[in-house]
Amino acid sequence: MPVRCSRCKEDYGEIYIRYMRQYLCLNCFNKFFESRVKKTVEKYRMLDKGSYIGIGLSGGKDSAALLTVLKKLYPEKRYIAIHLHHGINEYSEDSYEKARLLAEALDVELHVFKYEDEIGITIPDVKRTKYGRKICSTCGFIRRWALAKAARELGVDILATGHNLDDTLEVMLSSFISGDYRSIYRLKPVLPPFPPNNYWKVKPLINSPEYEILLYVSFNRIPVKSLNCPFGDDARSMRRKDILKYWEEKEPMIKFQLFSSFTKKLIPILDRIYEDGDLEYKICKICGGPSSSDICSTCRRINYIKNKIGLKV
């Protein structure tokens, strides 16, 4: 038997939010989802540092939801969507096309950083090197580097990414297991500029569950990529997300409890230990980004890949 929306009591509840024990209609779910993003943005003052916002727009659900919600909540800001084209045949073309459609629908400028043009290699080239067995990891290195490079060159004030609650907790768990506490520190909702990057990094979806983001883009028919990467996802990260899902089945609020402990208890401790301002750095002679040596680790990796596939460095 159909159930009425727990909030408006008028429409039928199409979406069940288990940890709240509420059925929501689409309109009330949208208000609920967008309100949480707004509260997150305002709590951490994410958009107070400027009016030119760069959005990492991959074509996937998280970044699509992020751009849609921010444009709706803060239409007075200037946005530019930054899309990284990895050169992975049909997958990359599908991702680009969905990013283009969304940017066009929202009247947002789209900047495409095409690997083949910008750095001379594509992700499939990695498969032919020693990094081929850990291609997802190498792709992640290059993706973060490319997004930072594009944001720096475009001169944005703020770079917003679609990292969600599940992403954050999975990395936190993995970093804790490996003892990489600096990576946990870098999961903060807001990160200040780290020279020579002159932009703030923010994560407006950091306490939004992945499943609710999927519901938001699906019910609102937001264009997102339909193909999966042929190189697959990081198996370890998927396993650890499965652990969190299993835990959530037993304790529906566990993800929010972990996030609360992370922001209220753990981050203040790490703040006293790690301060990026205390880090010594150089400027990479190739890309102009921060580096611990004359050439950053990503540029060295890219040069290695070029050499292995017979390209001139």
Whole-angstrom Cα distance, residue 44 to residue 46?
5
Do 63 and 205 lie in a common domain?
yes
Quick check: is 171 in a domain?
A: yes
Pair (230, 123) in one structural domain: yes
What's the average model confidence in pLDDT over 229-234?
Answer: 77
Mean of pLDDT values over 62-69? 98
Q: What confidence score (pLDDT) does residue 233 get? A: 62
Higher-confidence residue: 134 or 232?
134
State both tokens at 52: 């030119």
What would the mean pLDDT of 214-233 be, rounded to a whole number? 92
Same domain assignment for residues 30 and 110: no
Number of domains forming the structure of the chain: 2
**What whole-number distance in Å separates Cα of residue 21 and Cα of residue 166?**
20
56: CATH: 3.40.50.620
- Residue 275's pLDDT band, with cuts at 50, 70 and 90, is low
Which carries the bigger pLDDT value, residue 1 or residue 159? 159
Q: Is the residue at 313 inside a domain?
A: no
Alpha-carbon distance of 299 to 297, in angstroms, equals 6
In the prediction, which pLDDT does 102 show?
Answer: 98
* Residue located via tokens 């498969």: 127
114 and 27 housed in the same domain: no
pLDDT at 46 over 90: yes
Q: Is the pLDDT of residue 2 over 90?
A: no
What integer is the mean pLDDT of 91-100?
A: 98
Name the band, by pLDDT with cuts 50, 70 and 90, for residue 18. very high
- Asked whether residue 178 falls in the same domain as residue 63, the answer is yes
Residues 218 and 95 in one domain: yes
Instruction: Of 133-137, 180-184, 202-206, 276-280, give the lowest mean pLDDT range.
Output: 276-280
Are 146 and 117 members of one domain? yes
| Domain co-membership, 33 together with 173 | no
pLDDT at 183 over 70: yes
pLDDT digits (tens, 9 = 90+) for 68-81: 999 999 999 999 99
Any domain includes 142: yes
- Give yes or no: residues 12 and 161 share one domain: no
Q: What is the pLDDT of residue 279?
A: 63
Verify that 55 and 126 share a domain, yes or no: yes
> 280 falls in which pLDDT band (50, 70, 90)?
confident
Q: Which domain holds residue 33?
A: 1-43
> Concatenated DSSP letters for 12-69?
B--EEETTTTEEE-HHHHHHHHHHHHHHHHHHTTTTTT-SEEEEE--SSHHHHHHHHH
* pLDDT for the residue 57: 98
pLDDT computed for residue 195 by the predictor: 79
d(CA 278, CA 181): 16
Compute the residue count for the chain: 313
Given a cut of 80, whether residue 13 has pLDDT beyond it is yes
| 57, 163: one domain | yes
Is residue 305 pLDDT above 60, yes or no? yes
Residue 58 shares a structural domain with residue 23: no
Task: Output 136 or 124, whichever has higher pLDDT.
Answer: 124
